[in-house]
Amino acid sequence: MNITAKQIAELRAKTGIGMMECKKALVEAGGDEGKAIDILKKKGALRAMKRADRETNAGIVESYVHTNGQVGVLVEVLAETDFVAKNDEFKAFAHDVALHIAAMNPRYVTVDQIPAEEKEKVRADFVEQVAASGKPKEIADKIVEGKVSKHFDEICLLSQPFVKDPSITINDLLTEKISKIGEKITISRFCRFEVGE
């Protein structure tokens, strides 16, 4: 299979990944750009997993205030090195996360941060709600699990569809940035303020 420089350049423009990685992905995909993008995403997820145990001791606190002045966000985004924390792409990512938080109002970064009492209360509320429907126990249990999972996805930042591109989640965006930048990146915490709340 003969991969042209134009194909490689087009794939690089779409993904922001290095030329050699793009060429390897195109060769592996037999020249199919869509398949090459999928291959690059999988490799990016693997790279992100390999970096998961690294420490993130550098980073920035990004702020965002909505144009109406009614909503403001501070978010701490960490990286392994100060070099990456000063990178324009890293800063743009942090800004996008802050903007997303302002728009979507998550309450936690991950499900792990939800207090046990809140998890139990949510589950109990859904159990009560589904029990009233009179469904058989095994079906009711599956319905409860689905409702609990959906609720937690809605209130946790990493599970939410990205406000600028709902086809991906914030976690997908984070994984993509880790792959592209080459360091572990963590969204550690945030604070959202809204007038009157």
3-state SS track over the chain: CCCCHHHHHHHHHHHCCCHHHHHHHHHHCCCCHHHHHHHHHHHHHHHHHHCCCCCCCEEEEEEEECCCCCEEEEEEEEECCHHHHCCHHHHHHHHHHHHHHHHHCCCECCHHHCCHHHHHHHHHHHHHHHHCCCCCHHHHHHHHHHHHHHHHHHHEHHHCEECCEEEEEHHHHHHHHHHHHCCCEEEEEEEEEECCC
Q: Report the pLDDT value the prediction gives residue 46, as an integer from 0 to 100.
A: 52
Residues 96 and 63 in one domain: yes
At 16, which CATH number? 1.10.8.10
Give which of 95, 76, 53 is closest to 187, Cα–Cα. Answer: 76
Residues 63 and 100 in one domain: yes
Residues 168 and 184 in one domain: yes
Residues 179 and 168 in one domain: yes
What is the domain extent for residue 36? 5-50
Q: Report the pLDDT value the prediction gives residue 196, as an integer from 0 to 100.
A: 85
The DSSP bridge partners found for residue 134 are none
Residues 17 and 82 in one domain: no
pLDDT in tens, the chain (197 residues): 688 888 888 887 776 666 777 888 888 888 888 888 888 777 765 555 555 555 667 899 999 999 889 999 999 999 888 888 888 999 999 999 999 999 999 999 998 899 999 999 998 999 888 888 778 888 888 888 889 989 999 999 999 999 999 999 999 899 888 888 878 899 999 999 999 87
Q: What is the pTM of this model?
A: 0.69
Q: What angle do CA 158, 91, 67 make, to 5 degrees?
A: 80
Q: Report the pLDDT value the prediction gives residue 23, as an integer from 0 to 100.
A: 84
* Residue 161 CB neighbour total at 10 angstroms: 16
Q: Report the pLDDT value the prediction gives residue 22, as an integer from 0 to 100.
A: 82
Residues 100 and 160 in one domain: yes
Residues 97 and 136 in one domain: no
| The token pair that represents 69 in the structure block | 């002045």
Residues 89 and 168 in one domain: yes
At 102, which CATH number? 3.30.479.20
Q: Report the pLDDT value the prediction gives residue 107, as an integer from 0 to 100.
A: 95
